[in-house]
Structure 1
Amino acid sequence: MTENITPEQADLLEILKTRRYFLRSAVEGLTDEQAALTPTVSELCVGGLIKHVSATETEWADFIVRGPIAGGGMEWSEEAVAAYGNQFRMLDGETVDGILAAYDEVAARTDALVLSEDLDKRWPLPEAPWFEKGATRSVRQVFLHVAAETAHHSGHADIIRETIDGKKSMG
């Protein structure tokens, strides 16, 4: 860290760190095979959720640096939809260690952005059915969204983990 870190930057880093901790804890001690299990009625697995959160955090970090992708970045080709779906599962050859190492790289990049970007900078959101037309987001809001997204999927991962072996993140 740096000596010139503001209290707000420290708070953002702390909230991101704690949300990531809870997501990561859902995979702690699992084998690659267990992390790929889909023991609930959903098709989600713990390893896939970490991949998805990592991919989502990467997309938002890119948004912070470059703004929205022309055309919203949405592609609905069969290949694009399949690639998106693969974010939620562990593919052949993927390991817990590899997924966590990639997530650590994404987290380090995001944390560096917390320290280097103007939190008040705003970008227009891409056109998408889930965004209000003409809406913008500040860099600050994006970091808070990443923390919320991570917490959201930590809950999913916690339920899946409890179904696998009874381990709970709390309690």
Structure 2
Amino acid sequence: MTTSSHNLTPLLPGERGELLHALSEQRELLLITVRGITDVQAAQRTTASDLTLGGIVKHITRGEQVWVQIMVKGDGELPEGMLDMEQYGMADDEALTGLLNQYAAAARTTEQAVAGLRDLDRSVPLPSTPWSPPETVYWSARRILLHLIRETAQHAGHADIIRESLDGASTTAQR
């Protein structure tokens, strides 16, 4: 995956382009935290949390895939794997390079999906989850994109702390 936000964001006009650019900037910050680390380091737990750098990349990839599916299908169905706990950890047979390739593919899918939307006001029912209210909740495509930006930013911050605990490097020091 390229780490240039200019290469990640398609040239879409207006709000779509702005939202995708903001998301690509957050992706870039997340990717900085995994620069130069090995698979062993990517799977290493460095804080009280069970989160690892590889696990964060895997989770944020799955999250982006799931939310884009919710946005595009708009059927209120729970996407397969949305609640799987395996998405939070790096399996023994996974390599960071493979996880990064999957993340790049998810980014391309997101951008294509947003380009194909009629408008960002499209309202879709959210799937029922253990943490959701009993009534059906609807979000616009715009709110889903804002959610992806927030999630990516939050996990980029987690990744920065994990990386700093791992070897002293931080996003700011690696730019």
Same fold (TM over 0.5): yes
* Matched-pair contact (CA < 8 Å) for 1:46–1:157: yes
Whole-Å separation in 2 of the counterparts to 1:43 and 1:51:
14
The count of corresponding residues between Structure 1 and Structure 2 is: 162
Aligned position for 1:97: 97
Post-superposition, which runs of at least 4 consecutive aligned residues in structure 1 deviate over 6 A?
none
What SS is found at the alignment partner of 2:139? strand
Gaps of 5+ in 2: 1-9
Query: C-alpha displacement at 1:125, in angstroms?
Result: 1.7
Query: C-alpha displacement at 1:26, in angstroms?
Result: 1.1
Q: Deviations over 1:11-39 (max 9, x none)?
A: 01111110101111111110010010001
Aligned position for 2:148: 146
The structure whose RCO (Cα within 8 Å, separation 6+) is larger is: 1
Gaps of 5+ in 1: none
Whole-Å separation in 2 of the counterparts to 1:167 and 1:93:
26
Whole-Å separation in 1 of the counterparts to 2:164 and 2:100:
20
Aligned position for 2:53: 46
Whole-Å separation in 2 of the counterparts to 1:32 and 1:109:
25
How much identity, in percent, do the aligned residues show?
Answer: 37
Change (3 A) 1:73 1:13: closer
Aligned position for 1:121: 122
Query: C-alpha displacement at 1:73, in angstroms?
Result: 5.3
Root-mean-square deviation over aligned CA pairs: 2.0
Query: C-alpha displacement at 1:103, in angstroms?
Result: 0.3
Whole-Å separation in 2 of the counterparts to 1:56 and 1:8:
22
Whole-Å separation in 2 of the counterparts to 1:128 and 1:85:
14
- Residue 157 (structure 1) aligned with residue 164 (structure 2): no
Query: C-alpha displacement at 1:68, in angstroms?
Result: 4.0
Whole-Å separation in 1 of the counterparts to 2:92 and 2:126:
35
What SS is found at the alignment partner of 1:170? helix
- Residue 30 (structure 1) aligned with residue 37 (structure 2): yes
Q: TM-score, normalised by structure 1?
A: 0.87
Whole-Å separation in 1 of the counterparts to 2:56 and 2:158:
8
Q: TM-score, normalised by structure 2?
A: 0.85
What SS is found at the alignment partner of 2:62? helix
